[in-house]
């Protein structure tokens, strides 16, 4: 069931990313002033943020699918083999994390380790693009507010 939720979230993220990208490209074609360019940059960076996060969700969904497969060699789950055979032999379960995206393998002796199911660039890229989105959005809002003529 978790796999389906992750798949639907990734698909929704793809739709949102495309929508933001189209709005950002429209804003680029219409804007000639600074607030317009900052708004376009915020929309395009937001599209990138959502797209990279959705890409990470797809990887996480595939890891969950492999973990819940239940065929030959399913103990420990497939994604937990990335820690090596000695560590994998101690795995008794897994957990999924969303902020940051991660697939954690639980050890029978206590403790966890993060498998390499989600590419290493996903979380840093999501954070960086999110900061760019927020910065451009705040700058666009404050610049647009100061550019408006006062209402009498």
pLDDT in tens, 14-53: 999 999 999 999 988 886 666 688 899 999 999 999 999 9
Cα–Cα distance between 93 and 97 in angstroms, integer? Answer: 14
Q: For residue 112, what pLDDT is reported?
A: 81
pLDDT (tens digit per residue) in 85-129: 667 677 778 889 999 999 888 888 888 888 888 999 999 999 999
pTM: 0.84
CB 103 within 8 A of CB 96: yes
Q: What angle do CA 62, 50, 115 make, to 5 degrees?
A: 35
End-to-end CA distance of the chain: 58
């Amino acid at each position: 069931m978790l796999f389906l939720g992750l798949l639907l979230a990734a698909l929704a993220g793809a739709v949102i990313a495309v929508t933001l990208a189209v709005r950002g490209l429209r804003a680029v074609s219409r804007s000639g002033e600074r607030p317009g360019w900052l708004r376009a940059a915020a929309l395009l960076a937001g599209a990138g943020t959502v797209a990279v996060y959705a890409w990470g969700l797809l990887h996480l969904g595939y890891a969950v699918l492999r973990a819940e497969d239940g065929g030959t060699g399913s103990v420990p789950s497939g994604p937990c083999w990335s820690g090596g055979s000695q560590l994998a032999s101690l795995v008794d379960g897994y957990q999924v994390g969303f902020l940051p995206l991660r697939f954690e393998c639980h050890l029978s002796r206590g403790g966890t380790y993060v498998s390499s199911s989600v590419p290493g660039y996903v979380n840093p890229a999501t954070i960086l693009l999110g900061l760019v989105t927020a910065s451009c959005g705040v700058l666009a809002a404050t610049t647009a507010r100061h550019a408006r003529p006062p209402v009498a």
